[in-house]
Amino acid sequence: MKTEILDIRELDCAAGAVERAGALLRAGEVVAIPTETVYGLAANAFDSTAVSKIFAAKGRPMDNPLIVHIAYIQELFDLAACIPTAALRLAERFWPGPLTIILPKKDCIPDAVSAGLSTVAVRMPSHRGANAVIRAAGVPLAAPSANISGFPSPTDVRHVQDDMTGRVAAICDGGSSEFGVESTVVTLATPIPRLLRPGSVTREQLEEVLGTVEVDAAVLHPLAENQTASSPGMKYRHYAPKAEIRVVRGDVQSYFSFIKKYAQPEDFALCFEEDAEGCPLPCITFGTADDPFSQTRRLFDALRELDEQGAKIVWARDPNPQGVGLAVCNRLYRAAGFRFANEPPVVGITGATGAGKSTLTQLFVQHGFTAVDADAVAREVTAEGSPVLQTLAETFGADILLPDGGLNRPVLAARAFANPESTEKLNRITHPAILERIRSRTAELTAAGKPAVLDVPLLFESGLDSICTATVHNTAAKATRMARLPARDGLTDVQIEQRMNAQHDDAYFTSRSTYTIQNENNTDLQAAVSQILQQIEK
């Protein structure tokens, strides 16, 4: 296919080019258009055949929905089935501009656009060229970023030409993108507004209009294998250059000393402008440390430059995640596949009851680790007034609550462990909240440079082993465990037998763990911990 280049940089003398783009779009063709965020690959949002050409040109997975771009606020009423006042307040404050709002969709939106979801993402760009082309087309335009799927988004017409020449009918040249990262995506289709993708409109700005806005966990963390994405785009490794990016946590001094120690001479640095002079590697810069807008403008271009230079391994500075910095971190971490070069270790400890997990955990704490204890987290999520406790009371009876509103553990235990179905019910209510809290607490610790030790009986069953650098099966002879338990829990011998028999055997844990420790006496235990720490350090 021949790709026309339409110059719309000087809009006042580009009437012909704009009209040509509009005509191609009306005829069901795909046209790349500039926007203030990144370039988009546009087609008539009401025409499934035209929209399917976008997916073909990008090689985009069909289950990833598109944003619909409008030029007039009234068009929102043609697309969304219901428009809460919150949406209008957002539109009033941030449109035209880099904000995408997700709302329940009208039936006229083809499945190809919404990828089968019941919602539609809408945005009104502020780029004058984008606005002119949408008006010329006379219809809302579905448009993802104009890159080959998985590549960094294009912030200059040169990038679009690299990726799309021969694949689309036309490319409109509108100069370099003002912001350089894609729009902020917020959904109003959830009970509490949720930030799905950070951009130049910040969470704090959204909260000024909406009150509380939740940040989706996928913004800064990889999705767990069993998690579904609130925004399908989040499950793909996005923005990825061909080079392997490794983010180095910490300030510029620790960055330099880290790369001096570990980098090879042929590696590259991705750092801030002011770091370039003292940098021991050839470097590409992305803005200045204290100006996140300069970083958003440069990041995608910098990633493409690294590929052009043939970089294989790239050591990147870690941006400050405040304000617009959240968008920079989100794109950089995804480009890096969430690979952090100097991430502190997370050690997961598991094993059968009574083998002394807490003693072992405390030894790691003495070596500077912070403990995250599943039992303690379970108590927190069922604390007085918590949503989990409320659900438990609705499910198991109001008398599981104490007069002061707290949880009466023995009464709940009697009900919940009465039969397997009740236990299953209990787990379904409590486990997701416990998991989420363990994950986020661990992420906070490691982001702050602190090693963590997780004491989690269901480490493998919950999938939490996937966030661990190493896993330790803590075990002891049955006699030792029997002797330890009554002192701790005040259980009878029969109850202990029952508990032990209900648990996995040693082989289950040993076959899944990085290390197995015989926890019989303190001297051996200390030696085993030192050995593990040495190996992790390596």
Cβ of residue 171: shortest distance to ligand TXA, in angstroms?
13
Cβ of residue 522: shortest distance to ligand TXA, in angstroms?
52
Amino acid, res. 4? E
Question: Is 456 among the residues that bind ligand TXA (CB under 6 A)?
Answer: no
Q: Report residue 133: phi and psi, to 5°.
A: -70, -40
Cβ of residue 449: shortest distance to ligand TXA, in angstroms?
30
- Cβ nearer to Mg ion, comparing 149 with 190: 149
Cβ of residue 223: shortest distance to ligand TXA, in angstroms?
13
Site string for ligand TXA, 39-78 (x = CB under 6 A): -x-----------------------xxxx-----------
Angle, helices 493-502 vs 478-489, to 10°: value is 120
Cβ of residue 9: shortest distance to ligand TXA, in angstroms?
18
Q: Quick one: which of 38, 122, 346, 525 contacts ligand TXA (CB under 6 A)?
A: 38
Stretch touching ligand TXA by CB under 6 A, among 226-234, 271-279, 415-423, 431-439: 226-234
- Which residue has the CB atom at the shortest distance from ligand TXA? 233
- Cβ nearer to Mg ion, comparing 145 with 177: 145
* Two tokens, residue 194: 């949720």
If binding means CB under 6 A, how many residues of this protein chain bind ligand TXA?
A: 27
Cβ of residue 301: shortest distance to Mg ion, in angstroms?
15
- Cβ nearer to Mg ion, comparing 238 with 473: 238
- Cβ nearer to ligand TXA, comparing 232 with 280: 232
Question: Is 120 among the residues that bind ligand TXA (CB under 6 A)?
Answer: yes
Beta strands in 232-369 (DSSP E): 244-248, 268-271, 283-285, 313-317, 346-350
What is the length of the chain? 538
User: What's the rounded Cα separation, in Å, for the pair 224 and 31?
Assistant: 36
Determine which helix (DSSP H) or strand (DSSP E) holds 373, and give its type and residue range: strand 370-373
Q: What value does the CA radius of gyration of the chain take, rounded to a whole number of Å?
A: 27
Q: HSE-up of 181 (CA within 13 Å, CB side)?
A: 30
User: What's the rounded Cα separation, in Å, for the pair 470 and 346?
Assistant: 7
Q: Are 446 and 453 in contact (CB under 8 A)?
A: no
Cβ of residue 144: shortest distance to Mg ion, in angstroms?
5
Cβ of residue 46: shortest distance to ligand TXA, in angstroms?
16
* Residue spans of alpha helices (H) in 203-250: 203-210
Determine which helix (DSSP H) or strand (DSSP E) holds 223, and give its type and residue range: none
Site string for ligand TXA, 173-202 (x = CB under 6 A): ---------xx-x----------xx-----
Using CA atoms of 384, 390, 396, 402 in order, give the dihedral in degrees to the nearest 10. 30
Q: Report residue 388: phi and psi, to 5°.
A: -65, -45
User: What's the rounded Cα separation, in Å, for the pair 342 and 266?
Assistant: 20
- Cβ nearer to Mg ion, comparing 145 with 442: 145
- Cβ nearer to Mg ion, comparing 145 with 471: 145
DSSP-derived letter for residue 118 is: S
User: What's the rounded Cα separation, in Å, for the pair 40 and 147?
Assistant: 8
Question: Is 117 among the residues that bind ligand TXA (CB under 6 A)?
Answer: yes
Among ligand TXA, Mg ion, none, partner that 65 touches (CB below 5 to 8 angstroms by kind): ligand TXA
Question: Is 330 among the residues that bind Mg ion (CB under 5 A)?
Answer: no
Q: Report residue 517: phi and psi, to 5°.
A: -115, 130
Cβ of residue 306: shortest distance to ligand TXA, in angstroms?
21
- Cβ nearer to Mg ion, comparing 151 with 293: 151
Q: Report residue 89: phi and psi, to 5°.
A: -65, -40
- Cβ nearer to ligand TXA, comparing 118 with 531: 118
How far is CA 13 from each of CA 7, 18, 129, 485, rounded to the nearest angstrom? 10, 10, 12, 83
Site string for Mg ion, 133-172 (x = CB under 5 A): ------------x---------------------------
Among Mg ion, ligand TXA, none, partner that 231 touches (CB below 5 to 8 angstroms by kind): ligand TXA
Question: Is 114 among the residues that bind ligand TXA (CB under 6 A)?
Answer: yes
Q: Quick one: which of 97, 233, 351, 451 contacts ligand TXA (CB under 6 A)?
A: 233
Q: Are 320 and 348 in contact (CB under 8 A)?
A: no
Determine which helix (DSSP H) or strand (DSSP E) holds 215, and give its type and residue range: strand 214-215
Q: If phi over 0 gives left and psi between -120 and 50 gives alpha, with beta otherwise, what is residue 377? A: alpha
- Cβ nearer to ligand TXA, comparing 159 with 246: 159
Q: Quick one: which of 126, 200, 202, 231 contacts ligand TXA (CB under 6 A)?
A: 231
Cβ of residue 45: shortest distance to Mg ion, in angstroms?
17
Among Mg ion, ligand TXA, none, partner that 64 touches (CB below 5 to 8 angstroms by kind): ligand TXA
- List beta partners, residue 401: 407
User: What's the rounded Cα separation, in Å, for the pair 90 and 96?
Assistant: 10
Coil, strand, or helix at residue 152?
Answer: coil
Q: Interface residues with Mg ion (CB under 5 A)?
A: 145
Which residues are near ligand TXA by CB under 6 A?
35, 37-38, 40, 64-67, 100, 102, 114, 117, 119-121, 123, 143-145, 182-183, 185, 196-197, 231-233
